Amino acid sequence: MFRRPCVAMAFAFFFLGTGIAVSPAEPPTPCATPTISKESPAVIKAAPPDVLPTALPMQVERCWLKPGLIATYRSDIGGTLVRTFLGYPGKSEHNCDKLLPPCQEWLEENTSVGKWVFFLDGDLNPLTRFQDPANGRTFYIFMKRFRWPLTIPDAWETEAIGADEARIRRDVKVMRWENVQTPAGYFWAICIEMHNTNMSPELKLDWKETNQTFCYDPALGITVKTSADASSVRHWELISLTWYKPK
């Protein structure tokens, strides 16, 4: 009842005060994301924890977003992370030729590390391009974490590329539905647990094994909460979800 198909936008528009162009490209399939605006900033919330939905599916498909979605997160050490969905660039643009289509482009503003653009592939796996200021070397981090459709209790093993081009083995399992409480409200989300193993000991990284959990709300198409056990920032949680509408 809270969902409607994405509507293709016939023109490019710009974020107020930022000058950042938002792609008018149409998602490849209908989008389940609710309409959210600055005039009505409240997100669609799940029922309180003591009220269960009539049924939760054992399998869900990915959600394609509309350009203009802005998700803001807060960390457990007080930092904020703002992700703005810019759209669906063509395969030949930017770093999209490295990714499974359709490529999805985001602007990320982190209070601790600054601003950069990153990309998601067609399976919502992120590719981030970093430049080392010490030597000017560019490297990529590609973290595989989703496999669609998400089905409880599927499990699989995959590899990812981390900092300094480290090879990471990732053991992933789709665990459960959870009514996740965040400052933005309650969300029925599928929680995915991952065990990461550093397969490049020659790089002498400061970790050998880590664990992470992502809770993904398929109605919104985004992760609403994450946790990790080997980082200075252990938790991120959604604090607001807004939609910028051009004038």
Q: What is the span of the domain harbouring residue 215?
A: 13-243
8 falls within a domain: no
160 falls within a domain: yes
How far is the C-alpha of 141 from the C-alpha of 83, rounded, in Å? 17
142 falls within a domain: yes
Judged on CB neighbours under 10 Å (0-12, 13-18, 19+), 38 is: exposed
- With contact defined as beta carbons under 8 Å apart, do 159 and 170 qualify? yes
**One-letter amino acid identity for 163?**
A
- With contact defined as beta carbons under 8 Å apart, do 86 and 107 qualify? yes
Residues 55-67 pLDDT 10s: 788 888 888 887 8
Dihedral Cα 11, 14, 15, 18, nearest 10 deg: 170
Question: What token pair was written down for 83?
Answer: 């992700």
3 falls within a domain: no
Residues 21-63 pLDDT 10s: 444 444 444 455 544 444 444 444 555 666 666 678 888 888 8
Residue 58: CATH number of its domain: 2.40.360
- What pTM was computed for the model? 0.77
6 falls within a domain: no
